[in-house]
Amino acid sequence: MTLIPVVRTKKALARLVAGWRRQGLSVGFVPTMGALHPGHAALVKRASRENDRTIVSVFVNPLQFGPNEDYGRYPRALPADRKLVAAAGASAVYAPSAAEMYPKGFHTHVEVEGISDLYCGKYRPGHFRGVATVVLKLFNQVRADRAYFGEKDWQQVRILEDMIRDLDMPVEIVRVPIVREADGLALSSRNAYLSPAERRAAPALRAALEAGRKEARRPNSRPETVAAAVRRALAGTGLKVQYAAVWDGRLLAAAYLGKTRLIDNLPL
């Protein structure tokens, strides 16, 4: 297998992409926080099918973690990530340091108002502001034609779509369906935190969403009865529901399993 380059600076990235542009090549972009799994690989495969070159960024963004969240212990595995994305068709990895991304004096943020305060945003204040800010910076650094995001983070992709529309950013966002384990658990880098017993319990989240969807198909169901069906299905599973909500044609939920926070969603 050929090793693909890892670029560490905005300058080296700009040089690489400018070379491709001079050759008239199209560029796809897949932003990630690393510790990559087949869900990320699906984004990279799609991007490399639809573009001549694909950049994958690996950056654990301190701005989107709360003070009591897992920034320090978030899994990091760059050598394995590099191999995984190369096998999926990526052309290069962009892995800047936190100092490269946020040099001393950095103080500009992007806020997508309203929807950033709902659902995940309600329980993770500042999270989507951190996401929108880093993604805008990454878009300006990479200057891709298309950027690929997973539907696993439904609220995130919706917020970013609003951001690029509102700020007239010249990039197309492509949504990629959720990749799951055989037992239904949505793949996530945070699944690595689960103990064997927690891992066995985790598919209950997707199963509860299915129960909610079943309720949604009943003639007199309402958003509240759908959310209640999700909560009922999670009772006794060991998962502690944080929210369950019908929004934007989807059923969304977040739940804790021990210290690990899991999210998932389904179309209604």
Nearest residue to ligand AMP on Cβ basis: 150
Q: How far apart are CA 62 and CA 5, in angstroms?
A: 24
For ligand AMP, the binding residue among 57, 189, 191, 265 (CB under 6 A) is 189
Instruction: Find the radius of gyration of the CA atoms of the chain.
Output: 19
Would you say 31 and 164 are in contact if contact means Cβ atoms under 8 Å apart? no
Please provide the distance, in angstroms rounded to a whole number, between the alpha carbons at the two ends of the chain: 42
Sheet containing 250-257, strands listed edge to edge, beginning at the edge strand earlier in sequence: 240-247, 250-257, 260-267
For ligand AMP, the binding residue among 90, 159, 178, 246 (CB under 6 A) is 178
Task: Please report whether residue 96 would count as binding ligand AMP according to CB under 6 A.
Answer: no
Task: Please report whether residue 84 would count as binding ligand AMP according to CB under 6 A.
Answer: no
Task: Please report whether residue 147 would count as binding ligand AMP according to CB under 6 A.
Answer: no
Task: Please report whether residue 43 would count as binding ligand AMP according to CB under 6 A.
Answer: yes
Query: Hunting for tokens 């990039």 — which residue is that?
Result: 171
Task: Please report whether residue 206 would count as binding ligand AMP according to CB under 6 A.
Answer: no
Task: Please report whether residue 40 would count as binding ligand AMP according to CB under 6 A.
Answer: yes
CA 22 to chain centre: 31
SS3 72: coil
- Six-digit token pair at 3? 């090793």
Task: Please report whether residue 149 would count as binding ligand AMP according to CB under 6 A.
Answer: yes
Shortest Å, Cβ 60 to ligand AMP: 9
Shortest Å, Cβ 152 to ligand AMP: 4
Q: Which residue among the candidates 37, 40, 107, 127 is catalytic per the annotation?
A: 40
For ligand AMP, the binding residue among 89, 96, 150, 212 (CB under 6 A) is 150
CA 140 to chain centre: 19
Q: How far apart are CA 193 and CA 242, in angstroms?
A: 18
Judged by CB under 6 A, the stretch of 72-80, 180-188, 236-244, 253-261 that binds ligand AMP is 180-188
Q: How many residues bind ligand AMP (CB under 6 A)?
A: 17
The candidate with the shortest Cα–Cα distance to 110, out of 125, 141, 96, 131, is 131
SS3 71: coil
Judged by CB under 6 A, the stretch of 71-79, 179-187, 240-248, 253-261 that binds ligand AMP is 179-187
Query: Hunting for tokens 């329980």 — which residue is that?
Result: 123
Nearer to ligand AMP, 32 or 221 (CB): 32
Task: Please report whether residue 265 would count as binding ligand AMP according to CB under 6 A.
Answer: no
Q: How far apart are CA 15 and CA 64, in angstroms?
A: 28
Task: Please report whether residue 152 would count as binding ligand AMP according to CB under 6 A.
Answer: yes
Task: Say whether 107 is catalytic.
Answer: no
For ligand AMP, the binding residue among 110, 163, 186, 204 (CB under 6 A) is 186
The candidate with the shortest Cα–Cα distance to 188, out of 62, 84, 40, 72, is 40
The residues that touch ligand AMP, with contacts defined as CB under 6 A, are 32-33, 39-40, 42-43, 149-150, 152-153, 176, 178-179, 186-189
Residues taking part in catalysis: 40
